[in-house]
Every structure is written in structure tokens, then in C-alpha cells.
Structure 1
């Protein structure tokens, strides 16, 4: 096991800091969604990034279950696995700055098709808007949304069909959060490592 894998297995974040909210919006609006919708070059790495997002999101759900006697997902709960508002569970008082949220919404409405992409992007923005104090009562779990943003940057959106998250030539089975907790962590999120996944 590499040091990165060992750290991720212990729940340590893959990077020491989260993306700033304004920088995150800059990254998303810089994606050429029209070209990306037809891009299959990065299918393997995008599928692996989705598995990493599911793993990290599942780690957060497991942590929430420790302090909340009620299931995170269930009757009367509006959140939908797997693209849910993790930040709201951490601190419901914190929301993204209105101007940044409006900028993101305007861009998504004009360029990015699909409800899932919008939900995931908005959840990522709320996550980036959390102050460090809000996360202080939780163990240093990995940033759940960085793999998802990288996935979008490497080929745009995605869809869910027949229980799979579809990347044209690659698919990821969508099951309950419990099934993703034990997924092996991705060794690296670097462009070099992700490009190597696409070549294999």
C-alpha cells in the first residue's frame, strides 16, 4: 500500500486544503461542456474518480450515522444518495455566497445539461463554503467533492441508467452507500496518475 493509500484508508484527506468557493466556480465554468459531452478519452479515469467520490461520500455518511440516531437517507429525508448536500449535514447554517451560487446556476442552466450535474456542482460549492470551524468536530475525512470536480473537468457530465453511472465505454454500479465504504482508495489524483489510468 502506498503512503497515499494508507492515509486515505485512515480517513486522512488527500490534500491539506479545500478549494476556495470562488476558485471552484471558476473551475466549473471553465469546462467546455459542449466538447466534453462527446469526450470518451478519459472514460477509465472518470469511472475511477466516480468510485473515489462514492467511497469518500460513504465515509462521511458513516460518520454522520455515529452522531445521528436517524438514518441519513430514509423516510422524511430529502437527501438523495449519492449526490447529496454533505455540507448541510455538517453545518446547516452555512450556505454558499448568493452571488457565487447565482453565477454557478446561470452557467449550469446555459451550458451543462442534466439534473445530476447541477445537483453535484451545487453540493460541491456548499462544501467549499464551509468554514474550518464547521469541520472541526469531525475527524479529518477526505474532501468528497474533489474527485467529482476532476471527473467533470476530464469529460463533462454523466448519466444514470439501469443502476449504473454511465461513462459510455465504462460504467460504475450504483448501490447503497454501505457498499462503497470498503472501496480501495485511489492512489493519486494527479493528472499524470489519471492519464495513466486511461492508457491502461
Structure 2
């Protein structure tokens, strides 16, 4: 019987437009975060199975249960779908993702202390603008990601928010710095709100993520710099900003 999970994964891969340069640039920020999360998750698996030499574009299913394969017809269709796709490591990870999906059908028991769905961030990244090329950096056609080492990626903060709404909110042109509003009541782990300063082609844009679940212009940073705003703030990472956005979207959507 054909493994439905493998076929679902095959369907996702078939639907990807590998040459969608416009989407790659539009989603450059989120694609970079997704690639970093893929590197982090696979680093954990590679270390656990002494496969650092094969990281990061490795077949985890082969390490976990080499006896589990995919149906011959799925394998044939997969190779047809990957015709013309480059580089070779991209093809390898696509095959690995399909094999990973087969593990669920085979009810293989997986270690509970390792990241779940190691290929999901990469698949979501593909769906938001295609693949990548590896040179001195990982070139995502709109963003560059440093490969680093297994150890450096293990130390990276997890990026667990893969919802399209959150990812879309992270995508914008220009250099972006995020800030969190804080006070005695609202700490870095319980943010009052977030703003971002975006610089693009010499122009600066200050925006706040509002209850309307979108970025809107704000005077907060300018007023603070002029000494007219007593609400304090700290610089935060894109991962922290994503966490706030995800929480806000979930909470406010439930209230509507």
C-alpha cells in the first residue's frame, strides 16, 4: 500500500515553483529564518547520530531506520518532479524529506529529545520562494545565510513559529531592527508591544505591530528620542519578534 504521508510530501514538492525569484525576494527575511531553523534542527540530529560529516543536507531517516523506504511508484514520481532541480544537495534533502514522511507511516519510534519535523522549516522555505545555492554562504536568492558549524547551530535560538501569518509579518524590504516595549509589568519574556525601524534606500520607516494584526506607522521611537515618551524599550531579535506576533495573532483572533 502506498504510504499516504510520502505522497503528501511528494505533492508539496511538486507544487513548488523553484524559479520564483519574485517570491524569494518578497519572503527573504522569513526564508532566512526558516533556513537557520532547519540548520539548527538537523545539527541536533547529526550530533545525536554521529553524522556531523554529512550535515546539513543529510538523510535523517536513513540514520534512524535504514530499512524503511518509500513505495517504488512514489520514488519514480519524485525523481520526475526533481528533474532540472539544482544543486544536488537540494535534491538530496527533498528525497530525505519524503523518506522522513515514510517513517510516520511505518510507526518508527523517534527520540523524544530531538527536534520534531526536522525538514518542515526547509519545506516551508521552499514553498515561499524556491530553493538555494551553496557558495561561501547559503544563497537563498534574496538573503544569505552563513552555514556555520554543528555546534554553532545547536546554540542558535529555536525558531518555532512557522504559521504563514507570522512569516508574512517578518517580510519587508530594507534593514530591520526590532524593539520591544517594556516596563516594570512587561518584561522581555512578557512583551507590552513591539515596533520596528526599517531603513530602505535611505528612507527610515518606524512601524508598530498593532491590534489590527499588521504593521502600521508609529511615532513612538521618534518621540522617545526627543524625550517625549517615557515608555522604555529594548532591542530584540527577529525570533523574539516572531514569538510576540504569533502570540498576538492567536490571542486576538480568538477574541474576534
Report the TM range for the smaller structure's normalisation. 0.7 to 0.9
Deviations 1:4-48 (A, max 9, x none): xxxxxxxxxxxxxxx921111101101122335873111111110
Residue 57 of structure 2: aligned partner? 83
Closer, same or farther in 2 for the Cα pair 1:182/1:73, shift >3 Å?
closer
Q: Deviations over 1:108-163 (max 9, x none)?
A: 114x2321221110010111111464234x1153210000101111111100111x
Over 6 Å off, 4+ runs: none
Greater share of helix: 1
> Could you tell me how far 1:62 is from its partner in structure 2?
2.9
Structure with more strand by fraction: 2
2:72 aligned to which of 98, 104, 111: 98
Gaps of 5+ in 1: 1-18, 65-70, 75-79
Deviation at 1:181, TM superposition (A): 0.8
Q: Aligned ranges for residues 1-200 of structure 1 at < 5 Å?
A: 20-36=5-21, 39-64=24-49, 71-74=50-53, 80-110=54-84, 112-131=85-104, 133-136=107-110, 138-139=111-112, 141-162=115-136, 164-199=137-172
Question: Could you tell me which residue of structure 1 aligns to residue 251 of structure 2?
Answer: none
Task: Note closer, same or farther for the CA distance 1:37–1:165 as it changes in structure 2 (3 Å cut).
Answer: farther
Structure 2 regions of 5+ residues with no counterpart?
Answer: 177-256
* Highest RCO, 1 vs 2 (Cα 8 Å, sep ≥ 6): 1
Instruction: Find the aligned partners of 1:146 and 1:187 in 2 and give their Cα distance.
Output: 10
Does the 8 Å CA contact 1:37/1:157 hold for their aligned counterparts? Answer: no
Q: Which structure is larger by alpha-carbon Rg, 1 or 2?
A: 2
The alignment covers a number of residue pairs equal to 168
CA gap of 1:156–1:169, structure 2 versus 1, over 3 A, is: closer
Give the structure-1-normalised TM-score.
0.76
CA distance in 2, matches of 1:134, 1:21: 14
